[in-house]
Chains A and B, each alone.
Chain A
Amino acid sequence: MLSTQRLSLWYGKQQALNEVSLSFERNQVTALIGPSGCGKSTFIRSLNRMNELIPAVRTAGQVLFGGQDIYAKGVDPVEVRRWIGMVFQKPNPFPKSIYENLAFGLRINGYKQVQERVEMALRKAALWEEVKDDLHRKTGLDLSGGQQQRLCIARALAVEPQVLLMDEPCSALDPIATAKIEDLIGELKKEYTVVIVTHNMQQAARVSDYTAFFYLGKLVEFGNTQKMFETPENPQTEDYITGKFG
């Protein structure tokens, strides 16, 4: 349903991705791992055209979603980001009520039954029970870090994407909040295809079905997560996941 074909990307003259071809399985979690600067964040941002917001970015190759190249002429990037939602490293709720954090996007996208959709998204993000009595009284910024991140997940889910991209979603969270997000990822994959960038090797092992290892802008190895962490095929993968470099 989502794949890249020989995807390359340059920041000015600096090449950050080098002909990456990768297919994401529907309703599975794929973790992207690799040392800093390996291109994993660049790659995940390419999957819903977020890199376009950075000047001097040039891409080559294709990102196919349902058979359609999302970089093709005439494809609306806003529409792409509705199909393929994203959650960032640092929770970024709006300084508005919890309700408005979700309702705003729904209204500007022309959705009806906003109230029902807000509740549904908060339930899917496992946040409803904690905030249902404060929807209009508290702002997104009044919530704890973990709750803020789940609010951002709910905001992404409210517009009913098919894919959820998560760029180090737990790196700013404590272990309890991290555990909640990880449990939530396990639930979300029943309905969505999830791609997650993580620096935490154990997190990749815990939450993902497939793992992709990036190094110097290239995809070094991709495969079943258990196999990657038990018997990786590439010595570079082995050295990275066992902590011999990185």
Chain B
Amino acid sequence: MTRDTYQRQLRGLRQSVIELGVKVHRQLEQGLQALLQHDLALADKLDAYDDAIDRQSLELEKLCLQLLALQQPVATDLRLITSSFKITTDLERVADLAVNLGEYARDCERIEVISPADIEQAGGLAADMLAQAMQAYENKDEPLAIDVIKRDRELDLACWGIMRGFIKQLVAREMQSHTEEQVERITSQALTVLLSMRDLERIGDHAVNAAARVVYIASGSHQYI
């Protein structure tokens, strides 16, 4: 084996991306928890975690650029580095969206208009997709990555179903008279549910992006990118 230092750097890059994925997944679960349990203390902590994730993402980007500039990678190495660069961006975005979920908790009391279990289910699906994409990255598992890509439809439908159900509730309530306070409360919940679903859907998209890069690493196929 030659180029030992370079090979060590590549292994280090992979390990760091895997670790970043673990942190972002934890951040997402905490964002969901803050939203669903209206845990404002936890929501406050997310910002600090996000700063650490941003710093780590920047370090990873620097490492990728350094490897590209100094080692002129090709073949599997090139695919690993360019994909890791992109996956890092996706992970960093997921962490931002997880902070958003905590922010929504601040803006609204507990969600009552629809069942929180529905949101929990969609959130769990998004988190699973992310974890699965990162597991595929760790093991260069192309079939698992393709499975994530296929599950995106499931998440889209779940988010869409929740938003649709919620709007239906609003329309039904429109028929009844409400106090100003009730209108305010329902509006806050509407914003929270709709924005949360939008963000979960985006998290799914980022998981799909990461999975598509894993397919590229494993086979060189651009099919899903």
Contacts and interface: CB of A to CB of B under 8 A. Distances in A.
A246 B219 CA distance: 24
Nearest to A240: B75
A242 B1 contact: no
Nearest to B220: A231
Contacts of B171: none
Interface string B1-18: 111001100000000000
B78 A230 contact: yes
B72 interface: yes
Tell me which of B6, B73, B74 has the highest count of chain A C-beta atoms within 10 A of its own C-beta: B74
Given A230-B79, A230-B220, A231-B220, A244 B74 contact: no
A244 B220 contact: no
Interface in A206-232: 229-232
B77 interface: yes
A47 interface: no
A230 to B, nearest CB: 6
Nearest to A243: B3
Contacts of B187: none
B75 A231 contact: yes
Interface string B76-90: 111100000000000
Contacts of B74: 201, 205, 229-230, 241-242
A126 B132 CA distance: 56
Contacts of B73: 242
A243 B2 contact: yes
Contacts of A246: 2
Given A201-B72, A202-B72, A231-B220, A244 B78 contact: no
Contacts of A232: 75
Interface residues of B, number: 15
A242 B77 contact: yes
Nearest to A227: B220
A242 B72 contact: no
Contacts of B79: 230-231
Interface in B36-57: none
A182 interface: no
Contacts of A243: 2-3, 6
A76 B219 CA distance: 48
Contacts of B1: 244-245
A230 B76 CA distance: 7
Tell me which of B2, B79, B219 has the highest count of chain A C-beta atoms within 10 A of its own C-beta: B2
Tell me which of A231, A237, A238 has the highest count of chain B C-beta atoms within 10 A of its own C-beta: A231
Contacts of B72: 201-202
A237 B76 CA distance: 11
A229 B76 contact: no
Nearest to B2: A243
A92 B6 CA distance: 37
Contacts of A244: 1-3, 7
A121 to B, nearest CB: 34
Contacts of B77: 242
Contacts of B7: 244
A245 B75 contact: no
Nearest to B77: A242
Nearest to B82: A230
A207 to B, nearest CB: 14
B75 A241 contact: yes
A238 B6 contact: no
B77 to A, nearest CB: 5
Contacts of A242: 3, 73-77
Contacts of B78: 229-230
Nearest to B6: A243
B216 to A, nearest CB: 9
B121 to A, nearest CB: 39
Interface in B57-79: 72-79
Contacts of B219: 231
A238 B76 contact: yes
B10 to A, nearest CB: 9
Identify the 3 closest CB pairs spanning chains A and B, nearest first: A231-B220, A243-B3, A229-B74
13 contacts: A201-B74, A229-B74, A229-B75, A229-B78, A230-B75, A230-B78, A231-B79, A231-B219, A232-B75, A238-B76, A242-B73, A242-B77, A243-B3
Interface of B: 1-3, 6-7, 72-79, 219-220
